[in-house]
């Protein structure tokens, strides 16, 4: 059992948890994730590790309530426990001093991009960050990202905070004024596709973090298979980060649409997250 030590509600349906997991905290690097079950009958749901506290043996993750399992998770409080937590899983981000980097986070993907952003800044990079959300109320981790960014741009679909428009609009503005050495974009699949197209147009290397359907986290089930540079890869062990220009986006986004809920068909909680993000 893994004890919950702190919880916070970030918005109407977004939650922030710190849990005791000393072995995972000691080994987790930016870009890696965990898979947890709230109880014996619960489904396995992956979450990126947002932050660790190695001295206290704690890890932090942020999630959005979509269906039954995440609704149950959101009801837990400090002092409660989670049944299973596996990790760290996946390959960590390759952190180096690249020079000037552009970081793009959209929606709950901001929670995934934050540890990468922080590590890149600590490695000596100049960090220019773009955060995108539908509305100001849904923007998360603004202050944390600001702390490790040399420049922070916010975009919202409705213009309630920052500039009204898409993250790709902000990317074009930044590229026009700066020489960008590397870019990372994490968020809904369709957002990452168009961020990749924008970066590629300017010959900027870009990395994305894919989030297909995932069950075991060890590459055995094959559910998270994607085509990268013409080869089959498994996101849980070969990723989750890949070069955006090598992702077969048509296949990736098309596969996500296969899980759309039809009459008489019930999706798992995690599948609903993916459909919402990629539909």
CATH number at residue 204: 3.40.50.80
Task: Among 35, 68, 89, give the residue marking a domain's end.
Answer: 89
Start-to-end Cα distance in the chain: 35
Q: What's the pLDDT score for residue 275?
A: 39
Give binding residues as ranges. Answer: 62-64, 221, 224, 236
Q: Looking at the domain assignment, is residue 272 inside a domain?
A: no
Same domain for 18 and 139, yes or no, is no
Neighbours of 89 (CB within 10 A): 21
Domain hosting 85: range is 2-89
Same domain for 189 and 216, yes or no, is yes
Task: Among 69, 89, 109, give the residue marking a domain's end.
Answer: 89
Say whether pTM exceeds 0.75: yes
Give binding residues for [2Fe-2S] cluster as ranges. Answer: 221, 224, 236
Same domain for 198 and 135, yes or no, is yes
Q: How far apart are CA 60 and CA 65, in angstroms?
A: 16
Same domain for 42 and 150, yes or no, is no
Same domain for 85 and 104, yes or no, is no
Give binding residues for FAD as ranges. Answer: 62-64
Q: How far apart are CA 147 and CA 62, in angstroms?
A: 19
Same domain for 48 and 109, yes or no, is no
Q: Looking at the domain assignment, is residue 29 inside a domain?
A: yes
Is pLDDT larger for residue 44 or for residue 264?
44
Q: Which helix (H) or strand (E) holds 143?
A: helix 142-147
The share of the chain scoring above pLDDT 70, in percent, equals 92
Rg (CA), the chain: 18
Average pLDDT (208-233) is 89
- Which residues have CB under 8 Å from 189's CB, separation 6+? 210, 211, 249, 252, 253, 256, 277, 278
Q: Identify whether the C-beta of residue 217 lies closer than 8 Å to the C-beta of residue 187.
A: no
Q: Looking at the domain assignment, is residue 182 inside a domain?
A: yes
């Amino acid at each position: 059992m893994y004890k919950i030590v702190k919880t916070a509600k970030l918005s109407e349906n977004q939650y922030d948890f710190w849990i005791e997991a000393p072995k995972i905290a000691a080994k987790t690097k930016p870009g890696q994730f965990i898979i947890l079950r709230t109880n014996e009958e619960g489904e396995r749901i992956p979450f990126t590790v947002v932050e660790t506290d190695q001295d206290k043996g704690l890890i932090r993750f942020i999630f959005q309530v979509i269906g039954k399992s995440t609704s149950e998770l959101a009801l837990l409080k400090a002092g409660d426990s989670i049944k299973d937590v596996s990790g760290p899983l996946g390959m960590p981000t390759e952190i180096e001093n690249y020079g000037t980097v552009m970081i793009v986070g959209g929606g709950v993907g901001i929670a995934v991009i934050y540890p990468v952003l922080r590590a890149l800044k600590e490695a000596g990079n100049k960090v220019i960050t773009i955060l995108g959300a539908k509305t100001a109320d849904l923007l998360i981790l603004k202050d944390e990202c600001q702390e490790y960014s040399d420049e922070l741009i916010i975009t919202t679909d409705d213009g309630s905070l920052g500039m009204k428009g898409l993250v790709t609009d902000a990317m074009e503005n930044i590229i026009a004024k700066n020489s960008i050495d590397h870019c990372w974009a994490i968020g809904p699949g369709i957002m990452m596709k168009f961020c990749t197209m924008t970066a590629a147009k300017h010959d900027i290397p870009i990395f994305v973090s894919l989030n297909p359907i995932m069950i075991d986290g060890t590459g055995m089930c094959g559910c998270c298979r994607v085509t990268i540079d013409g080869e089959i890869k498994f996101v849980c062990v070969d990723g989750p980060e890949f070069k955006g220009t090598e992702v077969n986006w048509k296949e990736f986004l098309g596969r996500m649409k296969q899980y759309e809920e039809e009459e008489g068909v019930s999706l798992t909680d995690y599948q609903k997250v993916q459909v919402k993000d990629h539909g």
